[in-house]
Chains A and B, each alone.
Chain A
Amino acid sequence: MDSGNMAWVLISAALVLFMIPGLAFFYGGMDRSRNVLNMLMMNFYCVLIIPVLWVAIGYSLAQTPFDNDFIGGFDSFFLKDITVAGDGMSLATIAFLGMFAAITPALISGAVADRMKFSAWAIFVPIWFLLVYVPIFKWIYGGWLGQRGSIDFAGGTAIHVNAGIAALAAVLVLGKRRTTPMPPHSMPLVMIGTGILWFGWFGFNAGSALAANGQAAQAFMNTFLAGAAAGLAWVLTEWLRDGHPTNLGAASGIVAGLVAITPAAGYVSGPAPILIGLIAGLACCYAVRLKNKFGYDDALDVVGVHFVGGLVGSLLIGFFANPAFFEGSFDEGIFYGGDVGLLVEQAIANGTAIIWSFALTFAIMVALKKTIGVRVSQETESTGLDLSEHGETAYHSAQ
């Protein structure tokens, strides 16, 4: 057993778990004060249900048997036959991947903020996990999309593009909020959430090397640089365009950069992470305005940041992939002597994930709408989901 690898993967798994409260605060601070607890609960609920499902059936369906190209089987339900004999790394890896499974549906919560019934969310998450997350994960990691030659280091396509396009499908079924959108109720919460996310993202990306090695170190450096460069690009853009460098712009830019570098973290080096960050920051800074143009109510910009950021990063692999640097077995990007082959494969993988995720998410939401309903009442929407859905309120003026 290599104790260094084991230590790094276990620590990385805990870092990814810490991203859940990070995401919850990032979203919760942007939400209005009467719905912030609903937002936190939508996120934390994912860590209640997904770990149980992951160990019970998710891992087995998403991975084993490894030679199946489309979906796993039933052989590893409840981690049957997985032991700590040998190096024990498979168990550490299953825990690590379970954290990814938990945070992916949580990403969608930002889009449906202020109006989705919690009961509908509680059913949506496990169904979405099984019908959307598990198959796409299998196709990319070991399945047919991965075998064709597309690469996705830490989940740009499997997680961010997937959740981002699912968010779009979900809000199209859910409809617009009846109340006027409000500015963030607590920017300090957004900033601490962003800091926690960035911290956790080192485990997300560098941990995806599944070893304490040079690739992990470069992924760590890339995570550092892309977040910074994208935050810089976003802040400068809005400073010139709108007149002020805002905290929300810095936070949004950092997250956009982290999303974009996720698929590329273990495949790019040199100036690439900075360029990927700058491009993603600029692209997402304009992409968050699309909702106003097209009229979908993506409350906290999951589409503009996660879908667009993930897609930009995943496609840029086709230009920046540098296998020589990593002594890796993936194709070269266009800037490193490759042809367009890798870019085409990246486009195929993302296109497939987009179609599957959008169609299935739309169908799940329509089914929920026709059965238990997906919207809270107009009265609940104006009095707040915290009190009606959870019987709690976040802030009390008299203490």
Chain B
Amino acid sequence: MKLITAIVKPFKLDDVKDSLKAAGIQGITVSEVRGFGRQGGHTETYRGAEYKIDFVPKVRFEIVVDDSQVDAVVDAIKAAASTGKIGDGKIWVSNVDRIIRIRTGEEGSDAI
């Protein structure tokens, strides 16, 4: 079992969600986050004063999947979130030791 975390541009939220659903994923968690990578921040000018915006708004997806689904999910996110420009984001995959469905108490792959 793996946790797939993806940081993408906010306007790609719906595209990635649709792409994941099409790939057969039944549950996703999203959150609004801010951060910077190689893209860095930007400056905005208000009333002549410049403000450095260090942290750029992004959307974070978290999806727990069976090992067999990892490649399909990564490909789905990659295809949907890509614009080819700097700041498209990242995807990383990590191991998950244990998963429990709270309602039934099921564990492991049954709980995905």
Contact = CB atoms under 8 A, between A and B. Distances in A.
A183 B48 contact: no
> Interface on chain A toward B: helix, strand, loop, or mixed SS?
loop
Interface in A171-190: 181-184
A141 to B, nearest CB: 33
Interface in B31-69: 31-32, 44-49, 51, 53
Contacts of A252: 47
Most A Cβ at <10 Å: residue of B46, B51, B53: B46
A183 B44 contact: yes
Contact of B49 (A241, A244, A292, A397): A292
B46 A248 contact: yes
Given A248-B46, A288-B47, A183 B32 contact: no
A246 B46 contact: yes
A126 to B, nearest CB: 31
Interface residues of B, number: 10
A184 B53 CA distance: 12
A397 B32 contact: yes
Nearest to B45: A242
Contacts of A292: 49
A11 to B, nearest CB: 34
Contacts of B32: 397
Contacts of B31: 397
A256 to B, nearest CB: 11
A246 B31 CA distance: 30
A289 B48 contact: yes
Contact of B48 (A181, A184, A285): A285
A386 interface: no
Contacts of B53: 183
A249 interface: yes
B44 A241 contact: no
B51 A242 contact: no
Nearest to A30: B46
A244 B48 CA distance: 10
A181 B51 CA distance: 8
Nearest to B47: A288
A181 B50 CA distance: 11
A243 B47 contact: no
A69 interface: no
A301 B45 contact: no
A242 B51 CA distance: 13
A242 B44 contact: no
Interface of B: 31-32, 44-49, 51, 53
Given A249-B47, A289-B48, 15 more contacts: A181-B49, A181-B51, A182-B51, A183-B44, A238-B45, A241-B48, A242-B45, A243-B45, A246-B45, A248-B46, A248-B47, A252-B47, A285-B48, A292-B49, A397-B31
26 contacts: A181-B49, A181-B51, A182-B51, A183-B44, A183-B46, A183-B51, A183-B53, A238-B45, A238-B47, A241-B48, A242-B45, A242-B48, A243-B45, A244-B45, A246-B46, A248-B46, A248-B47, A249-B47, A252-B47, A288-B47, A288-B48, A289-B48, A292-B49, A301-B47, A397-B31, A397-B32
